[in-house]
Structure 1
């Protein structure tokens, strides 16, 4: 028990992380009692939320700051796995139901209908911008000078981590939305194209990091490495592989789920049209038909 508490003890305490996770968990737990949320969706949400908390606010953060491959593992969770599982759970209805009705009426709906909110969502959910942000943030934070500063300044380090979480949630929400368009932002077929477009840049960057023959991120050697038995180049190669293979595979899985939604929605649309066609062509059996 003491060992578990040791690992759960945050390396750098952050009230923001605690409040954000608690609010999300409480709203979902409250709303799931009123909205219809399946067991699989509940499991996906809680696994995703717990994964984000572990990657942001436990003793593991020490290793994330002192080994490049551990840092890449952290961002794999923050940008891919955690947001992916939360988006897969489709938590929107449950989160809204968890907010008191009066708060929704007075604050949430007016805020969502403001011009600023509409413009913001139109921008971030634009497919070209969504892919550019998703891949661009990975590239930006892995630029050697930027990465050097982010790992030294705890404020910039937290901005980096939160930017990955928020962007991951927005991107995977766009891709894994099970609804047709509208109300979803993108048609199912376009979601597949968007997530596939994010795969090649991740492969290229991961391969570049893996095959580069010199140390790209000396900050870990300067500040001291958590695992002295791993050489700097081996650490860099493993980090490149984590971006190259698991990161790209998450996008492939996202494309397959988007394809499944596309097939399901197409089948539903065909069934609905068939029913409408049959209803329109049904013979008249009422009193007028008998009298004629």
Structure 2
């Protein structure tokens, strides 16, 4: 089997192709005008490429027929791919890549619309962000819902896209390197947000690993890709993927957020640093006199 064989989509999706191509074109256009280092470019392309591979290649067959492969897919969709895209800080490049007239006519009015601003304020709230990030994992792994999602191709795609979108929102919030404002959260809150997402992932991963019964029989009903792997072993590997790599990604995110916090503090760019550096009225009078 050649590389071309594996790159062919198992189930072609115009949505994946259009979204991937659009993001690539906008980024290429934008990086000509915005300063994007080579490391950030590599991070963006790795994240975008990883999302495409797990959404639109022959591997999708295995994601649909083995639980541990499905968990590997969602590890990329929810953690790895969005993480590296957010780590590239591509906002300026993507904004510059959109034609100016389009930004004026479409993008700014949409972002300025009250429903959009309210929706972003809600999903970017730290409590809601953690709840969505962890809650979607629990929701799609709830056995009855998971059973239906793996049988209905429409719900299957909704599941995958919900993980991608939520992953992008969460990591964009956590890995923001700017002080607040303009960032939505202060550096300290960003560290706390990503740390809060670790224990629930460990608990669910451990539960799936140690459960003595088959939680996801849909893979046995539809036929498994790897007949040599028992259902329980498949389930245990899937639980470990959620338990260890998923949690470790959050630990790495917390370390990066902590690094941004220390860097901003050292440069005096935190809000409390700016307030302490601002002279009081009495001090200002003495300086003036």
State the 1:269 CA deviation.
1.1
State the 1:34 CA deviation.
0.4
Q: Deviations over 1:45-96 (max 9, x none)?
A: 0000000000100000000000000000000000000000000001110000
Aligned mates of 1:12, 1:218 — CA distance in 2: 23
Write the mapping of 1:108-257 to structure 2, written as runs, cut at 5 A: 108-257=107-256
Q: Are 1:83 and 2:82 an aligned pair?
A: yes
Aligned to 2:22: 23
Residues 234/29 of structure 1: CA separation in 2 closer, same or farther (3 Å cut): same
Question: Secondary structure at 1:61's aligned position in 2?
Answer: helix
Counting matched residue pairs gives 279
Asked if the contact 2:208–2:236 (Cα under 8 Å) also holds between the matched residues in 1, the reply is: yes
Q: Determine which structure has more spread, i.e. the larger CA radius of gyration.
A: 1
State the 1:178 CA deviation.
0.5
Question: Secondary structure at 1:240's aligned position in 2?
Answer: helix
Write the mapping of 1:256-275 to structure 2, written as runs, cut at 5 A: 256-269=255-268
Q: Deviations over 1:223-278 (max 9, x none)?
A: 0000011100000000000000000000000000000000011111179869988x
Aligned mates of 1:270, 1:170 — CA distance in 2: 24
Question: Secondary structure at 1:215's aligned position in 2?
Answer: coil
Aligned mates of 2:269, 2:39 — CA distance in 1: 27
Under a length normalisation based on structure 2, what TM-score does the superposition of the two structures give? 0.93
Aligned to 2:68: 69
Aligned mates of 2:98, 2:33 — CA distance in 1: 11
Asked if the contact 2:179–2:269 (Cα under 8 Å) also holds between the matched residues in 1, the reply is: no
Q: Over aligned residues, Cα RMSD in angstroms?
A: 1.7
State the 1:125 CA deviation.
0.2
Stretches of structure 2 lacking an aligned partner (at least 5 in a row): none
Aligned mates of 2:50, 2:20 — CA distance in 1: 11
Stretches of structure 1 lacking an aligned partner (at least 5 in a row): 285-292
